[in-house]
Structure 1
Amino acid sequence: MSTTAGAPPRFTPRTWGTLFVLCGAIFLEGIDVAMLNVALPAIRADLGLSTGELQWVVSAYVLGYGGFMLAGGRAADLFGRRRMFLVWLAVFLVVSAVGGLAGEGWLLIVARFVAGVAAAVMTPAGLSIITTGFEEGPQRNRALLVYSGTAAGGFSLGLVLGGLLSAVNWRLVLFVPAALALVILLLGAALIPATPQERTRDRRVDVLGAVTVTAAIVLLVLGVERSAHSAAGWTTATIAAGLVLAALFVLVERRSAAPLIRLGLLRSGALVRANLAGLLFAAAFFGFQFIAVLYLQELRGWSALETSLAMLAIGADAVLAPTLTPRLVERFGNAKVIVAGLVLAVVSYALFLPISTDTVYLAMFPTMIVLGVAFALAYGPLTIVATDGVAEHEQGLAGGLLYTAFQFGAALGLAACTAVLTGASGGVDGYRSALVVPIAAAAVAAVISASGLRKRVAR
């Protein structure tokens, strides 16, 4: 890679190839989640699943993904980013195919859990390949913005593809990701280079730390995700157990000679703010999508494909993230661009408040397009800040922290919106009430990010 003064960073054919493979993997993860969500009604009809069993098709993936992300990110640092990326991409390929062949609900649920674990390793591994393989500064920023735009584009396109494929056969929403994973695996084996540091690094494993933090996150995500569907006592006990294990994890890390997470990493105010803002941003984003899908399909009677097309404008960030955002970051800095994106997110959700039983799509479009711009401005720069200045041997861990925050935030936002909708009187007023959740979450995220701007001015 090379740059000239005032010119955008240039990538060599090899680095473009590596970035293409990694973008393919994050695109794969995005379409996989989105397509399966759209196909849930068809899965229920074919396999005869109850509502509770159908919920576990989603929950199993969330638990595997969110619960093992930190351990997966550290595994990439310890055992080689390229190796972990390719091995767990192969696992993802196999279990996706198994899920597509499943004739029983339990087998599909198990396959989705393992797919979540696989994604929990290969996602931070892929991110850390970028943050260690591209020079810090404009080169890395552009690579990360292209990467994050591809991730969002995958999710948006997955909504449409899911509607099309599930109309033919829901099993295609699992077979298509498996086929795409095979292509990415072959290209990755040829294009992603291994680094000497990956072969010589100390590989001591903090087993107790990995077990306690994974169990803590699994219990916390499970408690939050199931809070709207379970008794209050069960939810409280699950979350309490998760908090106890989290406290135990901190004690273990303080005494470990080779900790899973160096607690000093959390002394970075910018990193902590980026992770908190990312958690709340994901809570707002996924909470809003949940509300919008239910409003369009259950209240308005739109089909899955019509709903997917209605939300396609959010995918504008796939174009804006690698084109507009780098210029804004270069001129104003990551912090200001993040705050602008979060403020636009608040505006986009507020624009949806006037919905009624006969609102035309033209009135909903401003929400979708503004949210797409907001995502383009916030998501990529948050990724940059959350990994900026972190030592190379901890880049996988930094990526794991960020994606854990995103995943836990998504579970939190979905649970909160479900709780509001469940307790509401019904009708369009219930959806308006639930919109308070994404508006509040995005507003708090904006305040947290803006606090970093105030501290910088004070210094």
Structure 2
Amino acid sequence: MHGLTSAHHSGLLVSGRLADLYGRKRLYLIGMIVVVIANVISGVIPTQIALTVFRAFSGLGLSISSPAGFGIIGTNFRQEPWRTFAFAALGLGTPLGAVLGEIMGGLIAGTGKKGWQYLYFLLAGFAQMEIGDREHIHQSTEGKTQNRQIDWIGAGLITIGISLLLFSITQAGLVEKGWRTPYISPIFSFSIILILIFGWWEHKLEYESSVIPTSQESPTAYPPTAIKDSIPPIVRLSIFSRHKWRISAILGIAFFDWLGICGWVYLTSVYYQDLLGYSPLKNALYILPAPITGIICSCLVTLIVPRVKAPILLALGGISSGLANALFAFQSPNTIYWKNEFFSAILQPFGGDLTIPIGSIIISNLVEDDEQSVAGALFQISLQIAGCLDLCISSIILTQVESIHGLLKGLQIAFWFNATCCWFVLVIIFLAFRKVGLAKDIAKVI
């Protein structure tokens, strides 16, 4: 599983750039083909090492197709309410996948000793359906950037940097000694250095590209090789400061919301399984209202987003997911389920299921057509880093407090931390979006 997630997360940004340059439909189908092949081989592979390798290839396929899918929606669905419907459907995949995956996975895995192998065939079948439906993916999504050179230096820096960053953060939350483990701090430090070098390199390329004359300017003042040799960056760093930093703001909102949401999932499993001694199945049943509510919320998004101001909905999401964590912070093992736990599960999904579709609409409206897939990759990376980081921070808080005050107190403090993360989005919303109306009108607010 770690191989799959690492390959998925680390390849997003480069895949997004390739999709914007060489065609989103092409990259989307290539990614799905990789997923099909990797899952079919995973279902028959005999060794654990080989299985890990092909799970990583499956994650790579997802990293290729995910940003391309975001770009396809961003460039093809221009009119409301269809644009909102499309991004809401994209966001629906998270809660719907959680429910169906949990149910179908349990049923198939329980068919026999090798039932788990059939799960990979099922995943391959889902991906094959996407390939079979390729005629409905519009050709108009092909990239139209004239300069299609690839910044391979930047691609290598950011891919290795993000991979090592997520690896070090994840391991710090899993191993017994945490950050005191000898290899974790050096890997984390090296990843930060690589990402900083990537930022400097991208700034350099963006500056060099900006001095190349446009078609209306006279190119005689520049060397003949200047235009040919100019390599565009993987991501223009100016994207973060456009529209009064609103792209950075929506990435921050998604980041802090997702911190609290992922923390809730992790901490509730500790609460039910470690504190109360419940089985994983009983734990899944107790939190089942969360994905069910998520599906309902995602469906309602199509009705409320075109009618309600984006800041109000984003704030509602942050408040709700924060309250979900706070209810567990007040929870006592002797309290009945229906007092706090049930309502916590009902409130938990709103942060993600409102932020993801609304954030997708906003960030898509704020970038150019040749940046749609890169923007989608940035949005997904902010969520993935948040998920890994919260696992690390919540586990550190939990273990440190537990060693002094016990497991229950550790859980309460960790839940309060996650609630604070969710509520911090209110500050970002006030600073960046207080004058914004509907999500579809975001680009009109200067």
- Report the TM-score when normalising by structure 1: 0.81
Matched, 1:365 2:345: no
Residue number in structure 1 paired with 2:415: 435
The 3 A distance-change label for structure 1 pair 199 and 271 is closer
Number of the residue aligned with 1:133: 76
Alpha-carbon distance, 1:328 to partner: 3.0
- Whole-Å separation in 2 of the counterparts to 1:390 and 1:200: 14
Q: What is aligned with 1:262?
A: 236
Residue 390 of structure 1 deviates from its aligned partner by 1.1
**Aligned mates of 1:196, 1:308 — CA distance in 2:** 40
Residue 250 of structure 1 aligns with an amino acid whose one-letter code is G
1:201-234 per-residue CA deviation (whole Å, 9 max, x = no partner) reads 5321111111111111112111211113244353
Match of 1:12 in 2: none
Report the more deviating stretch, 109-118 or 371-380. Answer: 371-380
Q: Match for 1:178 among 124, 136, 141? A: 124
Larger deviation, residues 444-453 vs 219-228? 444-453
Larger Rg: 2
**Structure-2 change in CA distance of 1:338 and 1:200 (3 Å):** closer
Cα gap change, 1:249/1:328 in structure 2, threshold over 3 Å: closer, same or farther? Answer: same
Instruction: State how many pairs are aligned.
Output: 400
Q: How far off its partner does 1:313 sit?
A: 1.6
Structure-1 separation of matches of 2:102 and 2:398:
23
- Corresponding residue of 2:9: 66
- Following the alignment from structure 2 to structure 1, what is the Cα–Cα distance between the partners of residues 117 and 398? 30
- How far did residue 196 of structure 1 move? 7.1
Q: Which amino acid aligns with 1:77?
A: D
Pairwise CA distance, 1:136 = 5.0
Match of 2:294 among 292, 314, 317: 317
8 Å CA contact 2:276, 2:333 repeated in 1 = yes
Question: Which amino acid is the alignment partner of residue 266 of structure 1?
Answer: F
Task: Report the equivalent of 2:32.
Answer: 89
Aligned pairs for 1:101-250 (under 5 A) are: 101-135=44-78, 137-168=80-111, 169-187=115-133, 189-195=134-140, 197-198=142-143, 201-228=146-173, 229=175, 230-232=178-180, 233-250=182-199
Q: 2:303 & 2:430 partners in 1: Cα distance?
A: 20
Contact 1:271 1:387 in 2 (8 A): no
- Seen in structure 2, the aligned counterparts of structure 1 residues 272 and 106 have a Cα distance that, compared at 3 Å, is same
User: Greater CA deviation, 172-181 or 406-415?
Assistant: 172-181
Cα distance in 2, alignment partners of residues 208 and 224 from structure 1: 24
SS in 2 for 1:112: helix
- Say if 1:175 and 1:310 are closer, same or farther in 2 by CA, change over 3 A: farther
Q: Do the aligned partners of 1:157 and 1:312 also contact (CA within 8 Å) in 2?
A: no
Distance 1:197 1:104 in 2: 40
Distance (whole Å) between structure 2 residues aligned to residue 417 and residue 377 of structure 1: 24
Any idea what the Cα deviations from partners look like across 1:364-412, whole Å, max 9, x if unmatched?
1101111233433222112212222211111000000000111111100
1:163 is displaced (CA, Å) by 3.2
Indicate conservation of the 8 Å contact 2:24/2:142, yes or no.
no
Unaligned runs of 5+ in 2: 206-229, 438-444
Range moving further from structure 2, 441-450 or 83-92: 441-450
Equivalent residue for 2:442?
Answer: none
Deviation at 1:130, TM superposition (A): 0.5
Cα displacement (A) at 1:455: 6.2
Q: State the Cα RMSD in Å.
A: 2.3
Give the 3 Å change call, closer, same or farther, for CA 253–372 of structure 1 in structure 2: closer
Distance 2:17 2:188 in 1: 24
Q: Distance in 1 between matches of 2:369 and 2:50?
A: 39
Residues 96-118 of structure 1: per-residue CA shift (max 9 Å, x gap): 22223333222222222222221
What letter is aligned with 1:291? L
Conserved in 1, the CA contact under 8 Å of 2:259 and 2:389?
A: yes
Distance change in 2, residues 1:310/1:172 (3 Å): farther
Q: Is the 8 A contact 2:398 2:407 kept in 1?
A: no
**Cα shift at 1:321:** 2.0
Q: Any gaps of 5 or more consecutive residues in structure 1? A: 1-56
Residue type of the alignment partner of 1:393: D
Q: Is the 8 A contact 1:345 1:371 kept in 2?
A: yes
| Contact 2:14 2:159 survives alignment (8 Å) | yes
Q: For each residue in 1:77-114, what CA deviation from the matched residue of structure 2 results, as whole angstroms up to 9, or x when unmatched?
A: 11111111111111112212222333322222222222
Establish whether residue 356 from structure 1 lines up as the match of residue 328 from structure 2.
no
Partner SS, residue 295 of structure 1: helix
Give the Cα–Cα distance (whole angstroms) in 2 for the partners of residues 246 and 329 of structure 1.
35
> Is the 1:164–1:305 contact (alpha carbons within 8 Å) kept by the matching residues of 2?
no
What is the DSSP-based 3-state SS (H/G/I as helix, E as strand, rest coil) of the residue aligned with 2:314?
helix
TM-score, structure 2 as length reference = 0.83
Percent identity over the alignment is 23
| More deviation, 86-95/374-383 | 374-383
Contact kept, 8 Å, 1:336 with 1:453, in 2: the verdict is: no
User: Structure 2 counterpart of 1:369, which letter?
Assistant: I
When structure 1 is superposed on structure 2, of 102-111 and 123-132 the one drifting more is: 102-111
Quote the residue 2:355 is aligned against: 378
Stretch deviating more after TM superposition (444-453 or 360-369): 444-453
What is the rounded CA distance, in whole Å, between the counterparts of 2:330 and 2:145 in structure 1? 59
Q: 1:297 to 1:413 in 2, by over 3 A?
A: same
Distance 1:418 1:165, change over 3 A: farther
2:258–2:352 Cα contact (<8 Å) kept: no
Query: C-alpha separation between the residues in 2 aligned to 1:156 and 1:444?
Result: 29
CA gap of 1:379–1:141, structure 2 versus 1, over 3 A, is: same
Q: Measure, in 1, the Cα distance between the counterparts of 2:322 and 2:265.
A: 14
Question: Partners in 2 of 1:97 and 1:450 — Cα distance?
Answer: 48
